[in-house]
Chain A
């Protein structure tokens, strides 16, 4: 699924409410209705089975073979050799580490920034509608476009970020009396090669992802804020609790389910990151992630079996995330 796919803004639904009509005793009419239900569901189930479930099973099977795409030689079963290869591969290990770094850093930053933005667009002020609309823009821009756009802005020669950091900001703060010159001194003297220095490439990609995805995080948190009933604050106000105390003792605890749901989907999305890094840095080692490793192994390396093994590893990691998180959400509900 693409990074920005809105799919998944969902939580395991509880038992749905029964509908009166269908609660009638099993008559032939009710049976025909049940048959109709199956007829209506069937096409979707068939499509999902063909394009997702079957390929998933196939991924597991292929991961134990030496299959290739462009070869006619017989496919052999090679047991765990693909997995052993990945275990011993330095590249795969780097990809795994990069993916973890990317996931932890981007999700943490998005949660913090998203929280600030959510609190702001939840409070009443004049330009609130404008801000709510504005934050949808980064979300609507395709990841490929935002990656190229930021690559242009981060350019070490004529990129606007470097100009702001090296020229504009020092000039702006030097107007501040007394401490202005000292403040100006903290900005870099020379332009920074964000896209070339190996220790800055991954952070650059993280910055782009944070820019693009914080809105989504903020909207999920906003939805959570909006269902906190107002009267819980009344009691706090009566008790004389300040805003800060209210946030830590009321807002945050009540927001926990929303935070968890937001974290699930962002973590799942970040862990399979492909677009932003591939567009900015191709398959360079300093930013290689699991998804890029897999795509490369498949398309450029023509190693269907090995790529499938990497796919399976990603799938299992994501499965573990889902399990951990759904447990947490359920515990919250009890």
Chain B
């Protein structure tokens, strides 16, 4: 496996395979390759495993020196504490409501706009696409102050609808952009047939194209959900109580119930609780995510 620069499948297959003698350099390269693979696996997976372990370790294991790698016994106290900690539960509720609402709104309006941008020629189409594209790179910090002022003016400060509205700044342009590319890539025959059969253009969208776009909607919705669920800056800045504050700032400022300097057990328990759903989603939809993440990144 010395070949790391390209797929072996791309090698010309019509050449006779020469049996080469096993050279030492090949063995060394192969060994290095597998060491690298193992290193990558440990590097990417160990921290999460460590968090899960900390969530089920007794508190004295967590702060013991030398470091205890495996729990001396399974301890559910920290997870139990997290699920009885009211503020954390409120934060979970707020996160779920805010993320689901964000995704729903972004998908509804995003799909409408994306269909028009992807499949209908109209004046102002390119200009709109460029604005949308520019918005996907937009730095949230650039509007933090003016959004804050707006939230105060319209009494949206510290409310979930207010948060959802600000989450539109990063989810809606992304949804429109990815879905527009998705609609554009879809074959047009079915749509044309529907139009010839006398469907109105909107029926062609609603009854034919939208169901066909389901895979794209699922991927985009999932990515938007992850973005909203993981959002920190807006939630930290535009909320001040657990009436609206989401889990990310809650975890950032989490104080547990132990006498230790930092309650790592409960922090890690809370962290695992908000992360496991994401990890499960990612594992289920990994192929779609791989495709969606890089959608449109490279033409071709």
Contacts and interface: CB of A to CB of B under 8 A. Distances in A.
Interface of A: 1-2, 4-23, 32-34, 36-38, 40-41, 43-45, 47-48, 50-52, 54-56, 58-59, 62, 67, 69, 116-117, 119-120, 122-125, 127, 130-150, 152-153, 155, 157-160, 163, 167, 211, 215-216, 219-220, 222-225, 227-231, 233-234, 237-238, 243, 246-247, 251, 257-258, 261-262, 264-265, 268, 271-272, 274-275, 278-279, 290-291, 294-295, 298-299, 304, 307-308, 311-312, 314-315, 318, 322
Given A41-B116, A148-B252, A158-B62, A13 B7 contact: no
A16 B106 CA distance: 23
Closest 4 CB pairs of A and B: A230-B10, A7-B174, A58-B146, A55-B143
B36 interface: yes
Nearest to A4: B230
B44 interface: yes
A1 B223 CA distance: 13
Contact of A143 (B115, B142, B223, B230): B230
B168 to A, nearest CB: 5
Given A224-B298, A258-B297, A18 B143 contact: no
A160 B126 CA distance: 53
Contacts of B152: 69
Contacts of A119: 4-5
Given A6-B292, A7-B170, A36 B268 contact: no
A290 B135 CA distance: 20
Contacts, number: 409
A6 to B, nearest CB: 5
B192 A16 contact: no
A233 B66 contact: no
Interface string B197-232: 000011001000000000000000001001101111
Contacts of B44: 134-135, 137-138, 211, 215
B282 A136 contact: yes
B97 interface: no
Contacts of A314: 139, 141-142
Contacts of A231: 10
26 contacts: A1-B140, A2-B227, A6-B223, A6-B227, A10-B136, A21-B195, A23-B121, A36-B120, A48-B132, A51-B165, A135-B40, A141-B275, A142-B229, A142-B278, A149-B50, A152-B267, A158-B62, A219-B290, A230-B9, A233-B11, A234-B12, A247-B5, A251-B5, A295-B141, A304-B148, A318-B142
Contacts of B295: 9-10
Given A62-B146, A230-B6, A141 B67 contact: no
Interface string B19-48: 000000000000001001100110111011
Contact of A6 (B130, B174, B268): B174
Given A8-B136, A228-B6, A233-B10, A308 B146 contact: yes
A141 B237 contact: no
A33 B120 contact: yes
Contacts of B296: 9-11, 13
Contacts of B36: 116, 120
Interface in B277-298: 278-279, 281-283, 286, 289-290, 292-298
Contacts of B184: 16-17
B177 interface: yes
B168 A137 contact: no
A51 B233 contact: no
A64 to B, nearest CB: 13
Interface string B116-130: 111111111110111
Given A2-B232, A158-B67, A59 B173 contact: no
A315 B140 CA distance: 9
Contacts of B169: 1, 48, 51-52
A237 B48 CA distance: 42
Contact of B248 (A34, A142, A322): A142
A140 B278 contact: yes
A291 B11 contact: no
Interface in B69-117: 69, 109-110, 112-113, 115-117
B166 interface: yes
Contacts of A222: 294
Contacts of B9: 124, 230
B259 interface: no
Contact of B226 (A15, A19, A140): A140
Given A47-B172, A120-B36, A237 B267 contact: no
Contacts of B241: none
Nearest to B1: A125
Contacts of A315: 139, 142
Given A7-B136, A140-B282, 13 more contacts: A7-B227, A11-B296, A36-B116, A41-B116, A50-B165, A123-B1, A139-B282, A148-B251, A148-B268, A158-B63, A233-B10, A243-B2, A243-B5
Nearest to A215: B44
Nearest to B300: A227
B143 A59 contact: yes
A43 B278 CA distance: 30
